[in-house]
Structure 1
């Protein structure tokens, strides 16, 4: 299992290829990449902050729970911090399992918990100024299925 919290951009293709090459006994690899979204066309960027050490520990706990709950061969989480432009990759998860159902379920679990429980603070930067991104009820509601 690899957890990376970094400011540098990552190469999605290279990450998925390396992850896939490293798993044994897997019949399925699922990956998801989250991008900086500019729904209204006014976002100039997003600034993401975190507490080093605390963030990695929290993400590792979430990933370890996913490995325990599903028959995973491996899991990968990469999450960026710093200033990001619209369209840039913020994060990715990858899961590997003998069967696709576990790989998909674990990836969704990771996404839901990273969105709501990983200690990141996001600030949107735009023409109208800066605003911290508030927690959404829908994100919290998504946790109820797990």
Structure 2
């Protein structure tokens, strides 16, 4: 039911979606989120971004986040694909997909997953800008979004 993948190679969005529901006639809702690399961050041009992680530790953290979502909502499947390495604008960075019998469960679980990925997954982002490279700091807005899921 839970599938986690951290990889350098690109992924196919439609194929990831279809793998979640194909052959499962009980699925009534598929909700996905795809994060894309953009060419600007905080009013600064960005030509590339490098995502770093600790293999093993990152997958374990993603599995814990996914397990928490599965415990909170009645899900029939969950898939997270997160890229690492060098990315350029318009490339997909992350895929979060959730299937359930009903849309409410799927929407809430997907939103929870992306909020927690932004704040609790051990990824480090370094952007390439006209002024050179810089590490991306955590945002208070991401922490606030994740905080609303606290029990």
The answer, yes or no, to whether TM exceeds 0.5 is yes
Residues 23 and 74, structure 1, Cα contact 8 Å, conserved in 2: no
How many angstroms apart in 2 are the aligned matches of 1:53 and 1:45? Answer: 25
Matches within 5 A, 1:47-58: 47-58=50-61
How many angstroms apart in 2 are the aligned matches of 1:81 and 1:22? Answer: 30
Matches within 5 A, 1:14-29: 14-29=15-30
How many angstroms apart in 2 are the aligned matches of 1:22 and 1:122? Answer: 37
Pair 1:5-2:9 in alignment = no
Equivalence for 1:42: 45
Residues 30 and 96, structure 1, Cα contact 8 Å, conserved in 2: yes
RMSD between aligned residues: 1.2
Per the normalisation by structure 2, the TM-score is 0.93
Matches within 5 A, 1:1-146: 1-39=2-40, 40=43, 42-146=45-149
* Cα separation, partners in 2 of 1:9 and 1:49, compared to 1, 3 Å: same
How many angstroms apart in 1 are the aligned matches of 2:114 and 2:145? Answer: 10
SS in 1 for 2:113: helix
* Cα separation, partners in 2 of 1:98 and 1:79, compared to 1, 3 Å: same
Tell me the CA shift for residue 41 of structure 1.
Answer: 6.8
Tell me the CA shift for residue 37 of structure 1.
Answer: 1.6
Tell me the CA shift for residue 98 of structure 1.
Answer: 0.7
How many angstroms apart in 1 are the aligned matches of 2:24 and 2:55? Answer: 28
Query: Gaps (5+ residues) in structure 1?
Result: none
Per the normalisation by structure 1, the TM-score is 0.96
